[in-house]
Chain A
């Protein structure tokens, strides 16, 4: 939730050591409640409440719109009780108070909307939002959010102070409920597709969310599963195995994972196959940028340019329509796409070799925009088709439409195979002499150079190899869509790739996969809420930098680096700004 992530950031003072008397600090509770209320108000006004309303978490019981408000209350109560030792009554009271204060804001919004027309400024300060907040009671129901969130807050307080054997299963069940409700639209079609599971699908899911019975089943399944797990003491049994036997589990888990990954696009329908194909492409690009950014520390925000070069090369060489020049088969064009992307990497890399740090980001961002504008311009229209683009690009594998490999599924498989190959290459590169040189450059260019790292070659190779991976991704992208336009390569792509690396963990190979799944896959699944996708990105990036700058799955080195005490205030002048190394551009006179 956006709200809960922002709340602890805004409450600056770190949690004091637990007060021994464990009295409720009402001032603090009030302050957090007010913050939670601001977040709740924000969520209302930004339209999430209204836009999420048509989807149900549990059909007929609670909608997604109402869930956002509930989560605001839970978040407020949770932050209130974070790190505080309190007895149950105090926790419930504090949670209820925080929830009530949070609910005050939406309530005030409902009342205000009655007297002032806010819609001139806030599109979503609408009767629709008010209906969600008051459960359809109108302005007379302004008390609803206050009472509802007070109850939610009290429940949160009780849950947080409950015995562990109640708290854990309850929390797990709630989270499972939330997730199955959220992904109902994704889980239902594959269940309905097969006649064996169709009955189960209809039992669990309605067209807009979980059914009541489904919710009960999910809760029972989670709780029951946990109890069963405790009965058989799975974890302690595994731990008790001798080490040699224990390792057997990992390969079998890997085989299971592999089968799951192969089965995935077939099992869950064509829409999902498209999504996972896109994720696979982003993973490819992520591996590429991971070299430039993750290893060598060069933030390239124009990465999409190489992606575009790869896509356009394949398009030009293979298209059977107007702008095609060679009519090559797809696979013959791919190596050229990669090579040309590499050449562009070198061409763009050369002039900016001497530029450091955040300036590099802006310079490369400029490159990305230059390529995009040129591709869509009238100047190159005769060559690249301008805004009309290049169409009729053949599929990588031509199959009849009902074949096993038709449509996005083949791109998914091809992307997956390439991702595996590229991951291998990336790992080998990382552990090579070159990879260590990159890491050295990332840590400190000057010291690296003093230790004998050739900055020019090393950096150039980082750009070129990164670009090569992106070119490969672009080539597959052209094959996936069958047509490419200048507008397919906006700056967002570059920032998305950079973001997924950062969220996953800079320089970490599994991090790229995790980042791509979270930042590309999950938002693609929520297409209907796509207007909040970049809002989510923004919050994710800020929260990540504030709380976990090393990423979700950090590489060991980065983790170590970010958890040493920060240098003193002067440290920020290090390696800064536009510095040009005289050695790198001997001809420059300024």
Chain B
């Protein structure tokens, strides 16, 4: 087909528009950071605490993002209900934690607390896994070969269903997480505003991600999962139980999300029925950022998004004297999402998973 003059002009106009977008974004980031840094309004203390909060929320995002990325890798489907699986984990942890608190376990020494938190995480992971498998069985499995929008819409339905089921069961109120005094204390490093809970979150997230990475890369099941994401029918010909690989993927992703739910709630001290929604979308952003379908990419994407979202508002916008920059945290995160989708859809690490048509 020959391109007419109009077509060519629109093409140039679009390319000019996209370049303009890039220039504006880069200008905002560079000039804003320059202005903020030279204004000297914020000291080391502020920046370090922003970095720490970015690191902690970022590692939670990374944990959730793993579920998105793995499910996408294997089914080419956005599991919209994943945020709700995460919220379910946070609630499961809440009930275990409240029980522990009522028998005085959470005011004991560090080892006991570590044990208690570990139990909370395990129970939450188990609960989330069960939840995710139910959702998969009822809402996704019958639709595996349907046109692409169909499972996505079913997933949106599942997301609503889970949110309002929890609301029906537990009410619309905010549940305050059991207080663990020790975790709220500061780590004795002078220039760093760091609480023990931050250390706990980052370490356990890293540990779980390492475990998952080893699982995917070293075990038979992990190999099967990778094979199925690569090519479902060939994997089946090689004798891989595709259904089992898919179910395992859901289970593993959900376990990570459930654990992340407990960590997130420990960080922010609360959980309610809508808790899962925003972190869910953010984690999806993180997964896209790292390259969807790519396990290390999701981890990296989560950490990166956490930093951008935590440091970004102050660093980029404060220099322009924007009032209450923290309101714009989500704007920055979503802008980042759109920019990545537009300019580097393969993400930081990813290769494009679906460039070839079957």
Contact = CB atoms under 8 A, between A and B. Distances in A.
A542 B168 contact: no
B181 interface: no
A335 B143 CA distance: 43
A450 B342 CA distance: 23
A541 B80 CA distance: 13
A42 B166 CA distance: 11
Interface string A532-553: 1011011111101110010000
Interface in B104-160: 137-139, 142-154, 156-160
Given A457-B10, A535-B161, A363 B358 contact: no
A354 interface: yes
Interface residues of B, number: 82
A367 interface: yes
Nearest to A357: B148
A121 interface: yes
Contact of A531 (B137, B154, B168, B343): B168
Given A573-B356, A574-B358, A566 B11 contact: no
Contact of B150 (A47, A539, A545, A578): A545
Interface range, A side:
35 or more
B281 interface: yes
A431 B191 CA distance: 68
A567 B330 CA distance: 39
Interface stretch (B15-23, B52-60, B216-224): B15-23
B154 A366 contact: no
B7 interface: yes
B327 A122 contact: no
A587 B14 CA distance: 9
Contacts of A361: 78, 152
B233 A352 contact: no
A590 interface: yes
A206 B216 CA distance: 64
Interface string B315-358: 00000001110011011001101100111111000001111111
B292 A377 contact: no
A482 to B, nearest CB: 26
B211 interface: no
A576 to B, nearest CB: 4
Nearest to B353: A577
A351 interface: yes
B344 A542 contact: no
Contacts of A570: 231-233, 358
B17 A362 contact: no
A322 interface: no
Given A359-B341, A362-B337, A546-B142, A578 B11 contact: no
A583 B12 CA distance: 11
Contacts of B231: 570
B153 A502 contact: yes
A374 B335 CA distance: 12
A357 to B, nearest CB: 6
A541 B342 contact: no
B328 A579 contact: no
Given A570-B233, A578-B345, A587 B15 contact: yes
B154 A351 contact: no
B18 A379 contact: no
A344 B1 CA distance: 30
B160 A537 contact: yes
B169 A124 contact: yes
Contact of A446 (B95, B149, B159, B357): B357
B357 A578 contact: no
Given A545-B151, A577-B353, A534 B160 contact: yes
B292 A577 contact: yes
Contacts of B149: 297, 299, 357-358
B275 interface: no
B322 A587 contact: no
A143 B199 CA distance: 54
A351 B338 contact: yes
Interface of B: 1, 7, 10-11, 14-15, 17-19, 21, 75-78, 95, 98, 137-139, 142-154, 156-165, 167-172, 231-233, 236, 242, 281, 284-285, 288, 292, 322-324, 327-328, 330-331, 334-335, 337-338, 341-346, 352-358
Interface of A: 6, 9-10, 42, 45-48, 120-124, 297, 299, 350-355, 357-359, 361-363, 365-367, 369-370, 373-374, 376-379, 381, 446, 450, 452, 454, 456-457, 495, 498-499, 502, 531-532, 534-535, 537-542, 544-546, 549, 561-562, 566-580, 583-588, 590
8 residue pairs, one from A and one from B, having the closest CB atoms: A541-B157, A538-B161, A46-B168, A538-B160, A578-B345, A366-B334, A576-B354, A577-B354
14 contacts: A357-B149, A362-B281, A452-B1, A531-B172, A534-B164, A535-B161, A538-B157, A538-B159, A542-B154, A542-B158, A544-B153, A577-B352, A580-B345, A587-B19
Given A9-B142, A541-B153, 8 more contacts: A46-B165, A47-B169, A358-B78, A365-B281, A378-B324, A381-B323, A535-B164, A572-B148
